Structure 1
Amino acid sequence: MQLDFQKMPDGQVPAIVQDAATGRVLMLGYLTEEAWVKTQQEGRVTFFSRSKNRLWTKGETSGHYLEVVSLHPDCDQDAVLIRARPLGPTCHRGTVSCFEQADQTVAPTAPVGFLAELEQLIQRRQQFPAEEPNSYTARLFAQGRPKIAQKVGEEAVETIIDAVAGNQAGLPGEAADLLFHLLVLLCASGSSLAQVLGVLQARHQTIAAGTRRPDSE
């Protein structure tokens, strides 16, 4: 995997870092050829710091590393998209993204990205219930998987009722409840949104490729 560092007057290629789970843009940095090699070898994003005038592995002081998931040079090989897994806030101000402002407004992400963010919060409620013991999600996990599954069933029925009745005002809210409780159930069962999306993607690829099951006679 190559980048064309000779194209850039200072030999530094811009790198956009994106959260691999949510799609949120986390930060922009610059790579020298040495930083590029180190990033690939160690699996953690390393930039060339213009202020420090040296290689700088993101998180080397804070521990908030960016673990590389995949690397995607652009068509001209003079920029790269890095999909990463952030181990804590990315910005030195303690915010999730360097594009997050003081008023906590952030650059918008695709709606499906929010589902991934919500799943991360649900997972945290399961792993660290003492952080927010009074949260609805923590109480759901405390009640156990059968109760969570029951809630999914209840929300599914309510969603169906609104859909059949043509209740356009109420349907989005019921569907939101259903999606939320489904994410909780997946987490409680040791599954994930990524696995579900993986199944859908595999099915889509099969259809797109024109593969059909043989007719049975």
Structure 2
Amino acid sequence: MNLRFDEKGLIPVVTQDYKTKEVLMLAYMNEEALKKTLETGYVHYWSRSRGKIWKKGETSGNTQRVINIRYDCDEDALLIEVEQKGAACHTGNYSCFYRVMYSMKEEMPASSKILDELYGVIEDRIKRLPNGSYTASLVKSGEDEVIRKIGEESVEVILAFKNKNNKELIAETADLLYHLLVTLAYKEVKLDEVWKELERRRKRSQKENS
């Protein structure tokens, strides 16, 4: 491998969520930033505006843990797959590419990856506690209020089920899932841990039924 840095000593870096494959941001590295990234396991970039190396999340806490680093066929660009903590974009959006200029495709159907994205946003809200945020307001109210909301939303799901109202059931289930994610983030339990537990149970069930 002989990476080709440009005349300014920089190489473009595309950063991608390793689970959802969503592109998070485009930035640049110099050799020293790449070295720090490899040494620490957390992404470091070169700031062209400030003229210095910066660790992603050093101020916001929204760090990027390296999972995989690839380079392209011309050896002049990097693709880094990361575990993103919180939002990647300084605007508070999960990805810097949140605006659509043009698309000829219909919107892709929603999938479970929205839970990973939502969890990241919730983590960011809990960390920053911005004014006007429902998540921040809920967390500021304390643990008892967080627990009470889970009970309240659980009852709403039960009532929607009993009322045989599927539209209401969908809405109340979404509310319950959101508050469960808040609970996990409040206790600093990663959503990945829940996915791993579900996978463990599935494999055990398959083994028992084989």
Query: Which bracket does the TM-score occupy, shorter chain normalised?
Result: 0.5 to 0.7
CA apart distance, 1:113:
2.6
Alignment of 1:181-192 (within 5 A): 181-192=179-190
Residue identity matched to 1:112: S
In the other structure, the counterpart of 2:68 is 71
Normalization by structure 2: what TM-score?
0.61
1:112 aligns with 2:112: yes
CA apart distance, 1:136:
2.0
Q: Alpha-carbon deviations, 1:190-214, whole Å to 9, x = none?
A: 323222112112222333xx4339x
Give yes or no for contact 1:15–1:81 (8 Å, CA) kept in 2: yes
Structure-1 separation of matches of 2:90 and 2:140 = 35
Structure-2 separation of matches of 1:25 and 1:80 = 13
Structure-2 separation of matches of 1:109 and 1:45 = 31
- Report the count of equivalent residues: 192
> Against the structure 1 CA distance between its residues 63 and 112, is the aligned structure 2 distance closer, same or farther, given a 3 Å change threshold?
farther
CA apart distance, 1:63:
2.8
Q: Alpha-carbon deviations, 1:3-57, whole Å to 9, x = none?
A: x99xxxxxxxx9864213654123579xxxxx9998655635699xxxxxxxx79
> Against the structure 1 CA distance between its residues 70 and 152, is the aligned structure 2 distance closer, same or farther, given a 3 Å change threshold?
same
Aligned mate of 2:134, from 133, 136, 155: 136
In the other structure, the counterpart of 2:59 is none
Residue identity matched to 1:201: E
Give yes or no for contact 1:148–1:185 (8 Å, CA) kept in 2: yes
Q: Alpha-carbon deviations, 1:101-154, whole Å to 9, x = none?
A: 46699x96963332222222222222222x21x422222112211221111111
In the other structure, the counterpart of 1:212 is 208
Q: CA RMSD in A?
A: 4.8
* Structure with bigger gyration radius: 1
Structure-2 separation of matches of 1:152 and 1:165 = 20
> Against the structure 1 CA distance between its residues 164 and 204, is the aligned structure 2 distance closer, same or farther, given a 3 Å change threshold?
same
Normalization by structure 1: what TM-score?
0.60
Residue identity matched to 1:63: W
In the other structure, the counterpart of 1:199 is 197
Structure-1 separation of matches of 2:116 and 2:54 = 23
Structure-2 separation of matches of 1:93 and 1:146 = 31
Give yes or no for contact 1:64–1:88 (8 Å, CA) kept in 2: no
